[in-house]
Amino acid sequence: MRTNTNRFAAATTAAAAALALLVTGCSDNSTDNPAPTSKAAPAAPAAGNSTAEVDGKTIDARFDTTCAKQGGTLALALTDLNNTTYGNFSVSATLQGEDSVQAVAIAGTKGGSNGTPYAVGYGAGAPGGSAKVTKNGTTYTVTGEGVGGVDLTDPLAGPKNIPFEITFACTTVVGG
């Protein structure tokens, strides 16, 4: 069972990276504001600002936000290709319609335990985690829990669920 979870986390990370690379070419740079680094409860993001909070910590990042729609699927992505903590960092969510979260991936080329890449993922129907979405105009907030990577210093502990709250402030929706 742990092997399946590890495969899911790896697949989700790969999907997030591929999505980020795919949509970066048509990203909207208007949300290039750093997120606050305070450990206090985050304030609602200012209009047009995308943010990510993972495991109770606001990610300090300069996100490019991309929102693209094809058919009934909405792909949302945040990218910071030069993040101090996580290296090439991406956060993505795939929605079916505007109210059902199909997948969430949070990935960095560094920042995981013991020098490994950082990875948290959720997939509808896969064991572990949960996600829901709320919409306010063209801003989507995805909250829930994803499955995190295994700490290689204690691999028998297995992966753990990690809470997240992601705000995708879409100034435009490509294809929508």
**Owning domain of residue 24:** 2-31+49-169
79 falls within a domain: yes
39 falls within a domain: no
pLDDT of residue 158: 78
Report how many domains make up the chain: 1
If you search the block for the tokens 């993040």, which residue do you land on? 83
160 falls within a domain: yes
From 58, 30, 32, select the one nearest 44 (Cα to Cα).
58
36 falls within a domain: no
Residue 79 amino acid letter = T
If you search the block for the tokens 């997030």, which residue do you land on? 16
38 falls within a domain: no
41 falls within a domain: no
From 95, 83, 67, select the one nearest 35 (Cα to Cα).
83
pLDDT of residue 48: 61
pLDDT of residue 133: 97
37 falls within a domain: no
pLDDT < 50: residue spans in the chain:
1-47
| Spatial separation of the C-alpha atoms in residues 52 and 42, rounded to whole Å | 10
